[in-house]
Structure 1
């Protein structure tokens, strides 16, 4: 796993987490809705980062 790429992907997902978190709070006036959004985005970010940084044994030489 390329740790630098993994961290970079997580940082890139941090921007919409903050920005849309504010929008979700503005729309629903609920911290629960914001936490639901953040959890969904965290799951998507981690799964994307893991898929992007996963090495197959045949590719590593």
Structure 2
């Protein structure tokens, strides 16, 4: 089954950030992997989960 695609607002909610903060993370290159699809920034759910897991791994 294909990953669910998430919008910036969905990722912001998942990370506890505002959409503007996620946009800034994209600009800085510190956001989860994403792509432009049909003119919208999209994230694969698995990439967002991997981003969160990596943050916890670095904190240990």
- Tell whether the structures are fold-level matches, with TM greater than 0.5: no
Greater gyration radius: 1
Alignment TM class, shorter chain as reference: 0.3 to 0.5
TM-score (norm 1): 0.36
Whose RCO is larger (CA < 8 A, sep 6+)? 1
More strand by share: 2
